[in-house]
Structure 1
Amino acid sequence: MPEAVGEDTIQRLCRQVSEEIESVTDRAVGQIRAELQSYAAVPIDEQRGYISRQLAATLRALAESEPLADDVLERSRQLGRRRAMQGLPLSDVIETYHIASRELWNTMVATAAEPTTDLLRAGGMMWDLVHTATSAVAVGHTDATRSEQAIRAGVRYRFFEALARSVDGDHRDVRELAEALGFTAQHEFQAVCVAAEEWSEAQLERLQRTLDTIPGTTQCSGHGTVIIALSQRAPVDDIIREVRLGHPGTTVGVGLGRPGLAGAAMSITDARRVLQLASPTGEVVRFADEWVAATLADHRDELATLLEPGVAVAADHPHLVEAVLAFARNEFSISAAGRDIHLHANSITYRLDRWQQLTGWDPRTLDGLQRSVSSLSLFQRDSGDSGSRETRSAQRHLHEDGGAEEAE
């Protein structure tokens, strides 16, 4: 093969290929999932993110003719530990490196203007990098499989995955995993969720060890964007306290206590829904309190046409929003609403009338007030409105008290 022209040939090639890294990643992920059935247990976004970072790190090392950085090798060791906890065999984990690197190499060859000795040397170096990375994966995987805590973490992970896949929560494998973790399948479960982005595997293991010391049975695991703690006969406030011990001020979503394994899955859904409603300022949001807004949030696209008229009015007339929410929050009493926000009752009446004129919704009727509060709950918080908590509170009063027919 002819010699390469110019000393930066491989650097230029790596730079070109890096612009295609997402398409290379997608091809690699598709091939891995087609060839390795065990990877059905791994969330696809998690897998795609890791492979994209690993391929980018490989290109950087090739461009600079340097070994993989220490943080890249540490990430490979952590990946080995995580895949062991997810129950994946080491051979499958190593095979993913081979598949992804093969896709990367094929793309480099296709992108190169012509085969060169530099390209051939880069190919040899790439497989040296693969060997180094897979050795680190093997170390992490082996350490994890030797750890009793890691074995339990693997059972927890498979339990939550099986619970998510089971429509009614009554599959035999779900029951067996639940019992292996100390749960009683027919008893009540309650879930707590927090955002996963701040948590490392080591921190999650420490949290589980702490939760093992409180009354009842609580098991936690990371899934996608959340950490889930599922409990039986355990004080929820104790769980929240332990979660926040290592992450002060973290926002928490709490599901309803529900019976049976189907109820466990529903409680996790509850907690996920209210976590989406919470502000990032450390709220504890409970489905028992915010069930209306949490349930409607899953249908925002369907409700947009019906409820969006209030959004523009709210943006231009926040003082009208204040009056509507105070009216709903104070048991549909104009005088009480006035006292709440320090306005004369006549001013509240005027603002309610004005809201009706601009939106077409009469907040003195059940339908008008439901539309108004639901609109603010679902759409106003998208703009970062600081009154979202008050909106949800007003909505809760509306549904607890049954309507506005008795408004003054």
Structure 2
Amino acid sequence: MIGVVQALTSHGQDVAAAVTARCVQNIPAYQRLPGPVLERDLVANVRAVIDLFLTAVVEDRGLTEAELAGPISWAAERVRDGLPLDAVLRIYPLAAEELWRIATTSGEQPGEPGEPDALDLDPDLVSLVGRIFGLLADLLPRIAQAYHAEQQHEEWAQREGRYSLAAALLAGRPAQRAAERAGHQLAERYLVLTVDIPEPNQSTDTRAATSRFRRLQAALDTEPVLATFDRDGGVFLLPVTPDQHEPQQRAAAERVLRRIDSAAVARCRAGIALATSHATIPHAHRLATELLHLAGTLRRPPAAYWLTDLAIEYQVAQPGPARDCLAELLRPVNRHPHLLDALRALIDSNHQRAEAAASLHIHRNTLNYRLHRIRTLTGHDPTTPHGARVLTAAMIANALTEHPPTDHHLPEQP
């Protein structure tokens, strides 16, 4: 028995990583947890539970109250992260299954390669599996108790109801009955905010991402928003009234984004679009996501971006012969990064050459020489109004050709 357990202990980290990957792949609720929580905290929790089980098996005993405290507290954390009960519990049988798989495929077992022989298994392996599942029988009810105790809080129920409503509206599903069950009054119109939330510094404690996630939840509990989170940020539905025009809508969105920035302890980038009815929410979500990606691809600073802010860039971004032609225009310049930097600095400085030269830490004459080289290579003078318009559009097309749009923040299609 000890030899089998030692072999499994040596694979503990691999088992923990495999179990976490299966959770993300097979259990949708885990997909909305931040990346650092999945990659660091959850893997560490699974590894700790595996070590706990194997220690109890070697010592031929049950789990003590002190040992149960760790898994129970981690279960409560997952509740506060918004995971449903089945998602919290399913990870434990997955871990046991992965242990059994490694135990039965790592030794010299008879039968087909990689398959245990049911007629001639090592008795220690049989005993091990029985003990592991016996320990699970002790552990899972206690976790369920912790889960339900946390679930009783009204705050949790309200938050989970808002998640469900947001998910239904973003998917284009009817949400009125769900809203009635949750006691929530749906608005006629919503602003859809798709937000990228920067990860905390990698040098910080591994709980930083989880703490930030919970701060975001708490910050939005006092706002009239419906929210759903994913690994990169979240999508937020902010109700607006028909008599609110864009200036009022922008002010309302900025108020929510300030709360998100404060909770994230970072300035976030967001794409925003208006849905004038529930039926148009999925379209507004896609537009907001496209604006967010466009702003990121063009290296715009963290801020809120509406279609009116990026209308020209958005139009240039649409696939077609015009975009291809514009991207091709800069092909000769792409081989000279310092020329691209000069053109980008000129555009970013609103074509103020002194400011552009200062941002590059070069003399203005050096900048003028580089701009002349761009004119020679492209046939368009970046210092004239027409040339500036063409080359600005070409820079947008060039950036989008290098970094094509992704389905980041978009819901999976059924």
Amino acid at match of 1:250: R
Give yes or no for the alignment of 1:209 onto 2:221: yes
Shift of 1:236: 2.0
Amino acid at match of 1:203: R
Contact 1:10 1:63 in 2 (8 A): yes
1:283 to 302, 319, 324: 302
Partners in 2 of 1:95 and 1:325 — Cα distance? 53
Match of 2:153 among 134, 144, 147: 147
Q: Tell me the SS of whatever aligns to 1:253.
A: strand
- The gaps in structure 2 that reach 5 residues or longer are 58-62, 110-120, 200-208, 241-248, 405-414
SS at match of 2:397: helix
1:141 shift after superposition = 2.8
Total equivalences in the alignment: 349
* Alignment-derived partner of residue 374 in structure 2: 355
Q: CA RMSD in A?
A: 4.8
Instruction: List aligned pairs for 1:123-134, cutoff 5 A.
Output: 123-131=129-137, 133-134=139-140
2-structure distance, mates of 1:230, 1:24: 33
Give 1:405's aligned residue.
Answer: none
Change (3 A) 1:109 1:380: closer
Whether the 8 Å contact between 1:163 and 1:174 is mirrored in structure 2 is: no
Moved more, 278-287 or 54-63: 278-287
Q: Tell me the CA shift for residue 241 of structure 1.
A: 2.4
Give, as a single letter, the amino acid of the residue that structure 1 aligns with 2:184.
L
Q: RCO higher in 1 or 2 (8 Å CA, sep ≥ 6)?
A: 2
Out of 353, 357, 362, the residue aligned to residue 338 of structure 1 is: 353
Counterpart-to-counterpart distance in 2, 1:281 and 1:362: 24
Change beyond 3 A, Cα 1:237–1:51: closer
1:138 equivalent to 2:144? Answer yes
1:184 counterpart = 2:204: no
Partner of 2:6: 11
C-alpha distance after superposition, 1:283-333 (max 9, x if no partner) = 224234245557877979xx7997378478457342554246526864xxx
CA distance in 1, matches of 2:152, 2:265: 32
| Matches for 1:381-396 after TM superposition, within 5 Å | none
Seen in structure 2, the aligned counterparts of structure 1 residues 367 and 182 have a Cα distance that, compared at 3 Å, is same
- Secondary structure, in 3 states, of the residue corresponding to 1:139? helix
Provide the secondary structure at the position in 1 that maps to 2:259: helix
Aligned match of 1:98 in 93, 96, 108? 93
The change in CA–CA distance for 1:149 and 1:262 in structure 2 (over 3 A counts) is same
2:267 corresponds in structure 1 to: 250
Structure 2 counterpart of 1:60? 51
One-letter amino acid matched to 1:172: P
SS in 2 for 1:143: helix
Query: 1:292 and 1:133 mapped to 2: Cα distance?
Result: 58
AA at the equivalent of 1:184: A
What does the per-residue CA deviation read over 1:103-147, in whole Å, with 9 as the maximum and x for residues that have no partner? 432442232346545434533442355345524531343134322
Paired with 2:364 and 2:275, the residues of 1 have a C-alpha distance of: 43
Q: Are the equivalent residues in 2 in contact too, given 1:210–1:242 (CA < 8 A)?
A: no
Select 1:236's aligned residue among 225, 241, 253. 253
- Counterpart-to-counterpart distance in 2, 1:226 and 1:324: 28
Which letter maps to 2:393? Q
Matched with 2:233 is: 226
More displaced stretch, 266-275 vs 339-348: 339-348
Mapped contact 1:274–1:285 kept (Cα < 8 A):
no
Q: Is the 8 A contact 1:81 1:143 kept in 2?
A: no
CA contact (8 A) 1:24 1:107 kept: no
Q: Hey, what does 1:79 align to over in structure 2?
A: 78
Deviations 1:136-173 (A, max 9, x none): 5313431343222212212211122223322xxxx423
Q: Confirm whether residue 326 of structure 1 aligns to residue 338 of structure 2.
A: no
Q: Match for residue 393 of structure 2?
A: 370
Report the equivalent of 2:276.
Answer: 259
Counterpart amino acid of residue 272 in structure 2: G
Aligned to 2:118: none
After superposition, the C-alpha distances for 1:212-235 in whole angstroms (9 at most, x for unaligned) are xxxxx3233323421333212372
Change (3 A) 1:174 1:361: farther
Shift of 1:255: 0.5
CA 1:247–1:225 in 2, change beyond 3 Å: closer, same or farther? Answer: closer
> Which amino acid in 1 is paired with 2:373?
R
SS of the equivalent of 1:172 reads coil
Instruction: After superposing the two structures, state which structure 1 stretch, 221-230 or 317-326, moved more.
Output: 317-326
Q: CA offset at residue 246 of structure 1?
A: 2.9
Which residue type is aligned with residue 134 of structure 1? L
Using the alignment, how far apart are the partners of 1:75 and 1:250 within structure 2? 30
Alpha carbons 2:219, 2:259 under 8 Å: kept: yes
**Residue 250 of structure 1: SS of its match in structure 2?**
coil
Specify every segment of 5 or more residues in structure 1 that has no aligned partner in the other structure, as ranges: 34-38, 212-216, 331-335, 382-408
Is the partner of 2:257 in helix, strand or coil? helix
